[in-house]
Amino acid sequence: MAELEYQCCYCEEGIAKGDIGAVRIVISGLWAQADGSTQEVYAHSECAADKFGRALSSSVPFDIQAFAPD
């Protein structure tokens, strides 16, 4: 079995390269210095749209399609 390169932070399944809209979510402290700690997580495009996008306030636009390369 091939080793998973990226695991979705929502469903824990591997993310295939065919999911061209998959995203990397980088979290860092708002007031942190440049060398402050960051955390990266990864998500399927569908999971990001459903779990992340829908959790945002309705006043915050989020379009998962924007992250797919042209």
Paired tokens of 64? 């998962």
Find the binder of Zn ion among 22, 23, 42, 44 (CB under 5 A).
Answer: 44
Beta 23-28 vs 38-43: how paired, if at all? antiparallel
Q: Does 10 bind Zn ion (CB under 5 A)?
A: yes
Q: Does 47 bind Zn ion (CB under 5 A)?
A: yes
Q: Does 8 bind Zn ion (CB under 5 A)?
A: yes
Residue nearest to Zn ion (CB): 8
Tell me how far, at minimum, the Cβ of 30 lies from Zn ion, in Å: 26
23 exposure class (CB count in 10 Å sphere: 0-12, 13-18, 19+):
buried
